[in-house]
Amino acid sequence: MVSAAAARTFDLVIAANRLPVDRHVDPDGTTTWRTSPGGLVTAMESVMHEREAAWVGWAGFPGEAPEAFDDGALRLHPVPLSAEEVTDYYEGFSNDTLWPLYHDVIVPPTFHRSWWHCYRAVNERFADAVAEVAAPGATVWVHDYQLQLVPALLRDQRPDLRIGWFDHIPFPPVELFAQLPWRAPLLRGLIGADFVGFQRPDDARNFIRSCRSVLGATAKGDVVTWQGSDDGHPGSAPRSVRAASVPISIDAAGFRELADRPEVRERAAEIRASLGNPEVVLLGVDRLDYTKGIRHRLRAIEELLADGEIAPPQVTFVQVATPSRERVEAYRTLREQIESTVGRINGDYSHLGDTAVHYLHQSYPREEMAALFQVADIMLVTPLRDGMNLVAKEYVTARHDGGGALVLSEFTGAAEEMRAAYLCNPHDIAGIKETILRAIRDDPAEKQRRMRSLRRRVRTHDVQAWADDFLAALAAAPARPRRRDGP
């Protein structure tokens, strides 16, 4: 169902689970929309300027969707979700089936047929909404695991469109993907695209192997060809799709400028003083998610305290854990585990005025995040599995003073590019401990050399480059784009 206001059509259409704005209702009942902070919005702004573009997504609250409206040059098309759909499509199939399955089954995925039916219905609604607003021959960029059926559903209605899909999270090895009862329709959904982009080359390879093994498709290089099917289901026509890695990044210039502001530097000094001016501040910043390895990290910190290798007030650990998906059981359990572990560690190793672990379960403005990064002598980014991890890129960018050190899990997309970090296996507690100590004790010149190299990488591969590379690959697909350094 699309409102009459949707009669305008656009050459570029973005489809993502969420719109790039959040609704705020003031006490007097007036509604305002504020741009949500985040890399995707910035990246899209940079590709959408000078182009008429529309963004199709959920407005973030259940029930009837508002009419389409303009946000600057961007036309926003809210897609409605009922409360039941939020539970079944979003919290259920997206976050309790696909999310754990695509992150190495760190917790067991839940399979419910009713969730799948709902996921399909919501994907159909998104495809219909995009079909309404896309101009003839338009480019459509679909984002992420919540909308994997959209490419084929859209292709069936609108064969004239150029359709791309980008996967922000890992794509699992076929041995895990094959567990999914709906593996075939999901892949058929994706191969409706002309180009599918992934964070790492391994993710693209996993996708190609799944297409071969599950659908019997053939692959030549990074192009998958499927002969189609006569079963009449969505996405039955023969297709060729190219799959390659296009790693996402941050708005490096913007974040550097933010971190350089006098008020941010002053705030950093204030935070350091409030921690008692320790010699070494260790920092973790993550959404409170079981993929982020927070429990393993705390275990390593607890053992370092027990071994007497680190102790407050000289060394202190700050863990920022952003509230996340609190209606999903696995996330509630994780929060309890983490908070009881932090309580135990502080009970055993803190003294009055000297806290071993500072734990903050809150969201902060960008300025505060930049100040925190500047305080961190050692940044701990140790997910068990992560599509990319933008925190690692934000950290090195914020430390343009030349200081700091990054401890980075091998199982992040970021590790593929950020080889100069102190890499570790996040499952290996002894290994994390050793890597943290090495990062603390290494020669300052060696640390600076590593940080310089990391900053250069992020500066030259920023979010603008990511968006440009994706769109160039989409325009040329299934051939490779004519760029030397493109995906």
Q: Interface residues with ligand ADQ (CB under 6 A)?
A: 168-169, 248, 285, 287, 320, 322, 362-364, 369, 386-391, 394
Q: Which is nearer to ligand ADQ, 165 or 349 (CB)?
A: 165
Q: Which is nearer to ligand ADQ, 122 or 391 (CB)?
A: 391
Q: Which is nearer to ligand ADQ, 272 or 287 (CB)?
A: 287
Q: Which is nearer to ligand ADQ, 258 or 301 (CB)?
A: 258
The CA distances from residue 222 to 102, 183, 187, 325, 477, in Å, are 21, 20, 15, 35, 11
Please tell me the distance from the alpha carbon of residue 97 to that of residue 93, in angstroms, as a whole number: 5
N- to C-terminal Cα separation, the chain: 37
**DSSP string for residues in 241-288:** EEEEE------HHHHHHHHTSHHHHHHHHHHHHHTT--SEEEEEEEES
Beta 31-35 vs 21-25: how paired, if at all? antiparallel
Min separation Cβ 366 and ligand ADQ, Å:
7
Please tell me the distance from the alpha carbon of residue 456 to that of residue 441, in angstroms, as a whole number: 24
Min separation Cβ 285 and ligand ADQ, Å:
5
Q: Which is nearer to ligand ADQ, 265 or 287 (CB)?
A: 287
Min separation Cβ 215 and ligand ADQ, Å:
26
Residue 348 CB neighbour total at 10 angstroms: 11
Dig out the tokens for 325 from the structure: 């998906």
- Residue 23 parent element (H or E): strand 21-25
Min separation Cβ 395 and ligand ADQ, Å:
9
Residues 6+ apart with CB under 8 A from 392: 379, 381, 406, 408, 412, 414, 418, 421
Q: Which is nearer to ligand ADQ, 102 or 349 (CB)?
A: 102
- Residue 345 parent element (H or E): helix 329-349
* Residues 403/397, Cβ–Cβ less than 8 Å: no
Q: Which is nearer to ligand ADQ, 210 or 249 (CB)?
A: 249
Can you tell me which residue has the tokens 């390593």?
300
Min separation Cβ 7 and ligand ADQ, Å:
33
Min separation Cβ 410 and ligand ADQ, Å:
14
Min separation Cβ 359 and ligand ADQ, Å:
12
Three-class SS state of 41: helix
Q: Which is nearer to ligand ADQ, 41 or 304 (CB)?
A: 41
Min separation Cβ 362 and ligand ADQ, Å:
6
